[in-house]
Homo-oligomer: A and B are copies of this chain.
């Protein structure tokens, strides 16, 4: 059923060092899975329908490894504080509202519409601690056809009364119910264990979440080593942990037994990095957020050179835009400031590397996702870069590069496919 051909100018990553660009080529989708890219349509596919996007860029759907759906409402507001102050002043009061399902319905409709209109096909999403609102969010994401992991957030300490669960036990019971209600409910939407971060979770809660993850085979998302004040606080809260990551790892929330994605990793020390590497933990690099809340710049070059699992996160609303094109540009930009201001031994990122992170790098969290190699799930977006006029000849790679920098400024997204289904057309 989901078999067709896209004709266009095709761009994808083979790996972080190899960006493939093929002009005027044919990308085959066979039963929702990539069958490869060809100069001519192979005879065995001659009967498939062709979606003709000639002259447009065709690239894998973008993967957002870290985004807070309830924070979408106040993206672009309150960018005047550091992380912990920012959470207390903006994030927690806003998230408290999601106990009200009318508000949640309104806000999550806006969020889902924005994701639908974006180039994102896969995302790891934080909800709030409210189970019902989070399930409502999952309904809406399922409806727009993207594939997502969505977490009911856990928090049982160090947050206001309006945004704190009564106890570790009630938090765990509610999470188990959340898992049972959602694990088999959707085709494209899955639950994920989501401790907010160590400061919000007692050891008892963290331990219980590790057990739920193992029992139900549910992956994990959370925050790690984002801000110096946060890291120092975790040290106080968990004196038994030699680093922040160990506070998760001890309870089975750090890539083993189930996969895990950690947002930020700006201040991870060598031991924490070694453990992430050993456990195959995914890093969600969130450059806009790390800039906006003055956290710093993550040492991404180091992670890439160590061949760690790494992708990009928009981290709305620490980041102010859900666009993964913006996230790619932000990653390029902060890597240049890191080189200039922090360590001139760390070469800035290049376009191929950020494109890899936004597609195949992050996509690996979802399986064979984020590339057009044979056997990959068929996620694709079509960008009409003719909306970006230019007087000179450009190669396909140059067109891709400027589209990354500029396509966020125009309504360039023409079509989006996820798992072999066309889920958006402009």
Interface residues of A (CB under 8 A from B): 73-77, 79-80, 94, 97, 103, 106-107, 110, 113, 288, 291-297, 320-321, 323, 329, 332-334, 336-337, 339-342, 348, 350-351, 389-392, 394, 398, 401-406, 408-409, 411
The answer to whether residues A390 and B294 also contact, given A334-B337, A405-B75 and a CB cut-off of 8 A, is no
Minimum Cβ distance to chain B for residue A99 (Å): 14
Of the candidates B75, B288, B294, B350, the one whose C-beta lies within 8 Å of that of A340 is B294
* 25 contacts across the A-B interface (CB closer than 8 A): A74-B390, A74-B392, A75-B402, A75-B405, A76-B402, A76-B405, A76-B406, A77-B405, A79-B336, A79-B405, A80-B351, A103-B391, A106-B391, A110-B391, A113-B389, A291-B336, A292-B332, A293-B336, A294-B336, A296-B337, A296-B341, A297-B337, A320-B405, A320-B406, A321-B405
Contact of A391 among B80, B107, B348, B398 (CB under 8 A): B107
Whether B73 contacts A340 by the Cβ 8 Å rule is no
> How many chain copies?
2
Q: Which residues of the partner chain B approach A348 to less than 8 Å between Cβ atoms?
A: 80, 294
CB distance from A288 to the nearest CB of B (A): 8
Q: Given A348-B80, A406-B321, are A333 and B292 also a contact pair (CB < 8 Å)?
A: yes
Shortest Cβ distance from A341 into B: residue: B341
Q: Are A77 and B402 in contact (CB under 8 A)?
A: yes
Q: Chain B residues near A94 (CB, 8 Å)?
A: 392
Give the chain B neighbours of A75 by CB distance below 8 A. 402, 405-406
CB distance A110 to B291 under 8 Å?
Answer: no
Residue pair A291, B392 in contact (C-beta under 8 Å) = no
A323 to B74 Cα, complex, angstroms: 22
**Further contacts, 20 of them, CB under 8 A, given A77-B401, A110-B390, A337-B341:** A73-B390, A73-B391, A74-B390, A74-B392, A75-B405, A76-B404, A77-B394, A80-B350, A80-B351, A107-B391, A110-B389, A113-B389, A291-B336, A294-B337, A294-B339, A295-B340, A320-B405, A320-B406, A321-B409, A411-B411
